[in-house]
Structure 1
């Protein structure tokens, strides 16, 4: 009990300053995003020059996003966040001084926006990669922290930041930049309160090779690339409509220009509420189910806005759509944190941001073209069709028990026998032995296994595997050990579709306790066993491979819990 309380205390000690720093930082970003175009418009009436100032904030993600993620994996993430905040504070202090002295120009403003955007690439990648280090990788914990994270992001960028930036600019042109610089100094002070998590331990390889390794992990892990495509579809569909929504609101809904901001803010309010309740809303859903439902909700929202043509109904539907957007961010963020080794997490975050922003830009361009060619209703119909199709593709299929190796004995009668099966077994690159219970069904009771067991070979060639690693918190080579296991099973013809890592035991006694199983039945706690079972179901893995050795009894119980064969790394060497 006392040990669990201490663990919760350490988590709270790390999560609170991280969320507070993120909230302050993104509020500064929102204020800056509103104030910079206003300053540009006061300097020039050239639309291209004004648009260049806004675009400069997103260009760094397209240019240096992936290298920034690779460097975040290599450096101490706490120091990266601290440096990013200090750089942004310095840049904005200089910008405020230029405004006061009258030396500001559009090129100088664009340069300042580029510098702030580049620092944001590092801060955001490091902040999201730090979440599992301070909160753990439990599904409920990740949903809770990510829900708060994205709720604060929505508050800062959508609700507080832009009004603060525009109001401060109306008082004094330099004021929003000075306030923004101060916000980043506060964020830096909060970051200093984060616990020391050390470096991610990424290998010292070339920057291009490191970027390729991150992309390779995304596209070789089924859950990640499915959710990456889902996120792209969501952003593309959302921006298909949003690009010309101001015209629809003013021309069709007759919304006054002064009230347009309040209408759009309804989506942010829905996102904040959903983010704050994300753990409760997603507790009974898998990550892919959450994403698929959010995509389906967006499709219904756009159809409802188009059919209703009523400003009040539109406000309510936008709030529902905003809730779906936040839950999508929570599901995607939690998935990549749960299925990505710590030394790859910065690169995976950057890859998702690059993919999401690219899809958003493409959607905005497509929305403008469709509205020009076919009218203001066309983007709504196109967006609904796109996200509805994505929802069907994102919804997880039934666990693929029928695709498990037939030699395990779980398939239909006659499967895994015959000449073809024997030839396939001889062609297999590797087989391992697992235990199969022979039980007798009792009326009114669950099957009770007898003591008689026999071994059946499990063919790894062509199978999809979920890897599970259990480590001491002091084990610095955990990512390397998991990578070595992945290489070993890949060499045998298998494909890694997911990864679950647990690290525990910070004190000396806790480190020694890692040599003893948490449970003689399952090796891990009941909650962790359920997390592994859920990861297996979502990834559709055929076999679960534990890095630590397993007893026959542990293998049996775990196989029954996760619904597929369970082996250990020692079985690969047997």
Structure 2
């Protein structure tokens, strides 16, 4: 076996199957495109106006679609051919991006049009991400889900968070339309990869009930399953505390620890570097630590992350904390989705995943509101103290129920 073949075998083991390789290729291509947009989208809005309100609306356009359409996306993915959903959404995203690139290149871009395009892209991403997460349990054996999720998260950390944003910013400086054209090409490439994927045969979809009934069924199932219920509650509460702290992160970096606009990019880079360490260590960790204990350790790490940042006054103290948090975020994300995929029946994967998505973004939205109020009245570190106190209290409350996670499958 050649060196290249050995590397491929280590990264994408043959036992995971050809379908998984097509899925992960699609995921990595899409994540690189999304990484370009993380920088290019806000830069485009900021290039069109000095008003902070439209810039804030651009952020709203990113997190509002999961709240509005998350449950509907879950119902659709449990009713319709999931591969077809992902393929269609990737094509639609590519077309919207091509149109946006043309408008920007010709100098006809305006704030309403750009915000509308960003909203459409974020909405499409809700349907794509929710449905893509339901494909993995179909393609990969149950015992390999942790490894498979780790490989997918590797792409997210490296190309979405580490490589994508600086590349998107660089392309934007060359020509404002370039990153959006590049993202369109990557979405089209992701669609090609999905088209090559073949799923195992499934039973006919049950579509005799109403969509509202299906939504209620997903919520009821989540509420009555101890492990998944605990996961969703934990993600919601910890995203309230996380959202409060991270909503003022740019102000914290500039005013508290003295990082400028360029230096602020170090926060993402250092966090992504920590995520890569989590990627490399995840296999060893899951062989030696139970999933339930991994969740407990992660909650403790996140709690003390907020304390460390509340106390830090220099980048030399804060950046190592961001590094540790990056590793924790990767391990937590991979573990939580693995537990959910193992526990949820195939026909409910989309709807239960959608309930999780609504909890995730609902927590972020509520937390961002707390962060804005606290920082305005008590200073930029107040949200971090709130996040530490809130997380500490919830860790105590959730510690015993987390035993359900270890037995969730």
TM-score with structure 1 length normalisation?
0.65
Could you tell me which of 390, 394, 399 is aligned with 1:395?
A: 399
Give 2:90's aligned residue: 85
Q: Relative to 1, partners in 2 of residues 1:334 and 1:149: Cα closer, same or farther, differing over 3 Å?
A: same
The residue correspondences of 1:464-483 to structure 2 (distance < 5 A) are: none
CA–CA separation in structure 1 for the residues paired with 2:61 and 2:51:
16
CA–CA separation in structure 2 for the residues paired with 1:105 and 1:378:
36
Q: Relative to 1, partners in 2 of residues 1:200 and 1:106: Cα closer, same or farther, differing over 3 Å?
A: farther
Cα distance, 1:397 vs. partner? 5.9
Checking the alignment, whether the CA contact within 8 Å between 1:200 and 1:343 is kept in structure 2 is: no
Give 2:170's aligned residue: 167
The reply on whether 1:128 has 2:130 as its aligned counterpart is no
Could you tell me which of 107, 116, 119 is aligned with 1:114?
A: 119
Could you tell me which of 188, 191, 195 is aligned with 1:185?
A: 188
Cα distance, 1:202 vs. partner? 4.2
The reply on whether 1:253 has 2:251 as its aligned counterpart is no
Cα distance, 1:276 vs. partner? 4.1
Checking the alignment, whether the CA contact within 8 Å between 1:237 and 1:386 is kept in structure 2 is: yes
Cα distance, 1:82 vs. partner? 0.9
Gaps of 5+ in 2: 1-12
Asked which structure has the greater CA Rg, the reply is: 1
Give 2:385's aligned residue: 381
Give the count of matched residue pairs.
Answer: 396
The reply on whether 1:153 has 2:160 as its aligned counterpart is no
Cα distance, 1:224 vs. partner? 0.6
Checking the alignment, whether the CA contact within 8 Å between 1:73 and 1:345 is kept in structure 2 is: yes
Cα distance, 1:63 vs. partner? 1.0
The residue correspondences of 1:210-229 to structure 2 (distance < 5 A) are: 210-229=214-233
Once the two structures are superposed, what CA deviation does each residue of 1:141-172 show, in whole Å capped at 9, x if it has no partner? Answer: 12111122223222233212221221111101
Give 1:360's aligned residue: 364
Q: Relative to 1, partners in 2 of residues 1:86 and 1:346: Cα closer, same or farther, differing over 3 Å?
A: same
Give 1:311's aligned residue: 315
Checking the alignment, whether the CA contact within 8 Å between 1:69 and 1:347 is kept in structure 2 is: yes
Checking the alignment, whether the CA contact within 8 Å between 1:40 and 1:109 is kept in structure 2 is: yes
Checking the alignment, whether the CA contact within 8 Å between 1:288 and 1:396 is kept in structure 2 is: no
CA–CA separation in structure 2 for the residues paired with 1:256 and 1:147:
33
Give 2:306's aligned residue: 302
The reply on whether 1:208 has 2:192 as its aligned counterpart is no
Higher relative contact order (CA 8 A, sep 6+): 2
Give 2:284's aligned residue: 280
SS in 2 for 1:173: coil
Checking the alignment, whether the CA contact within 8 Å between 2:295 and 2:332 is kept in structure 1 is: yes
Give 1:266's aligned residue: 270
Q: Relative to 1, partners in 2 of residues 1:283 and 1:390: Cα closer, same or farther, differing over 3 Å?
A: farther
The reply on whether 1:104 has 2:109 as its aligned counterpart is yes
Q: Relative to 1, partners in 2 of residues 1:212 and 1:156: Cα closer, same or farther, differing over 3 Å?
A: farther
Gaps of 5+ in 1: 1-7, 400-496, 499-533, 540-574
SS in 1 for 2:17: helix
Give 1:470's aligned residue: none
CA–CA separation in structure 2 for the residues paired with 1:281 and 1:36:
36
Q: Relative to 1, partners in 2 of residues 1:310 and 1:104: Cα closer, same or farther, differing over 3 Å?
A: closer
Checking the alignment, whether the CA contact within 8 Å between 1:15 and 1:134 is kept in structure 2 is: yes
Give 2:31's aligned residue: 26
Cα distance, 1:396 vs. partner? 4.1
Cα distance, 1:308 vs. partner? 4.1
Checking the alignment, whether the CA contact within 8 Å between 1:99 and 1:173 is kept in structure 2 is: yes
Give 2:40's aligned residue: 35
Cα distance, 1:97 vs. partner? 1.2
CA–CA separation in structure 1 for the residues paired with 2:202 and 2:92:
21
State the superposition RMSD in angstroms.
2.1
CA–CA separation in structure 2 for the residues paired with 1:303 and 1:84:
41
CA–CA separation in structure 1 for the residues paired with 2:305 and 2:92:
40
SS in 2 for 1:355: helix
Q: Relative to 1, partners in 2 of residues 1:276 and 1:72: Cα closer, same or farther, differing over 3 Å?
A: farther
SS in 2 for 1:236: helix
Which structure shows the bigger proportion of residues in strand conformation? Answer: 1
The residue correspondences of 1:494-509 to structure 2 (distance < 5 A) are: none
Cα distance, 1:201 vs. partner? 4.6
